[in-house]
Amino acid sequence: MGRRQLPLLALLGPGLMVMLADTDAGCVVTAAQSGATWGYRLLVVEALLVPVLYLVMELAVRLALTTGKGLTELIREHLGPTWTAVAVGTLAVSVLGALVTEFAGLAGVGELFGLPPAAVVGVSAAGLVLLVVTGGYRRVEVVGIVLGSLEFVFVAAAVMAHPDGAALARGFSPVQPYGDPSFLALVAANAGAVVMPWMLFYQPTAVLQKGLTVRNLRAARIDTAIGAVVTQVVMAVVLIAAAASFHGGQLRTVGQLARALQPALGSTAGRIVLALGIGGAALVASIVVSLAASWSVAEAFGRRCDLDAGVRAQRLFYGAYVAIVAAGAALVLTSGSFVRLSVDVEILNALLLPVLFGILAVLARRALPAGHRLAPRRRLALVAAAGPCAAVALVWVGISLGF
């Protein structure tokens, strides 16, 4: 039975996994801070970011399935070695920072239960390496989605917090205090984190690893759409839980978030919810970001990757993967400035968005076959969605740098 005849459910996975990774530890804290500071008012922003996610990621998947090549391979072919080096270099920095954020989040979860950070980070890093080195693509995807699905515990947290229905409904109103600098900063933080650079490199290669072709484009679009809705639902329920449980303060760490949920969930339940939700989010994000970087490095050297081919046949890919995971773990365990580094990485991601959107636009013009090029309406929709997102991300950079 060919891939085209397989049931739709068997073709899904890459889009859902990358979107679950998008709601990583840092994004959970951002959503919680949004609810704690502004109540339900940023819910409209979470809803508006769904089409942004879908349109951008659908283009990345379309490029992969119609050309049979990953994003780095396409950049190398159509934009040359200089742009390839820039893309891989900046992606590596972004991925390393993301891993630091995820490992720091896991360490914070461990501290809720009195576990030493070194043990939590060390075991997590070893598990990530063993998963990829000993398992094929299918197992990696299944494990990633199962871990990411733990984020749905936040739905229970939101329900148990008993949000005010009328106030929640007003959160979807388009009329919000966009002129307030502090509100705009959180709008920018949410928008700047909606499309991470590593997402654009992971999903195109992942759909090819799964064995999908252009005949499966419809299924890949459904997968991407489901993932876009799921990730923003998770962001929304975290915001709702924080808004209903804790209002008017700063939530910047896992411990602070656990204490904020205590009135609604209790001490023990609050810690368990945070451990499952943030732990699952951080682990699936760690898998995705490290694979995105490793695949990109291999593609930059003109080598195709296959998780089912074994270590000996792909030493460059596996060497890059182990090095990236080890470097992220080492930075967390040796650095005392996690927060500053995380902020710097978020600024870098925001700066990269306009560049990456531009690269996607160029590749859409040069690489897409005639029958799959963007129609005028789709181009207009993509510009209407991605343009403001990139602009708001740049505003976030200015705010973060104190301008």
Q: Scan for tokens 């390393």, then name that residue.
A: 96
Rg over alpha carbons for the chain, rounded to the nearest Å, is 20
SS (H, E, C) 61-118: HHHHHHHCCCHHHHHHHHCHHHHHHHHHHHHHHHHHHHHHHHHHHHHHHHHHCCCCHH
pLDDT over 70, % of the chain: 86
CA triplet 53, 57, 60: central angle to 5 degrees?
A: 160
Question: HSE (CB half, 13 Å, CA atoms) of 340?
Answer: 4
Is the per-residue pLDDT at 401 higher than 70?
Answer: no
CA–CA distances in Å: residue 122 to residues 114, 215, 270, 344 = 16, 42, 25, 24
Identify which of 313, 315, 335, 333 has the alpha carbon closest to the alpha carbon of residue 323.
315
Cα–Cα distance measured from residue 385 to residue 311, given in angstroms and rounded to the nearest whole number: 41
Q: What is the pLDDT of residue 1?
A: 43
Identify which of 95, 328, 74 has the alpha carbon closest to the alpha carbon of residue 197.
95
The mean of the pLDDT values for the chain is: 84
**Could you give phi then psi for residue 301, rounded to 5 degrees?**
-95, 15
Cα–Cα distance measured from residue 165 to residue 175, given in angstroms and rounded to the nearest whole number: 18
- pLDDT tens-digit map of 85-129: 988 888 887 888 888 888 988 888 888 888 998 999 999 999 999
DSSP code at position 23: S
pTM of the model: 0.88
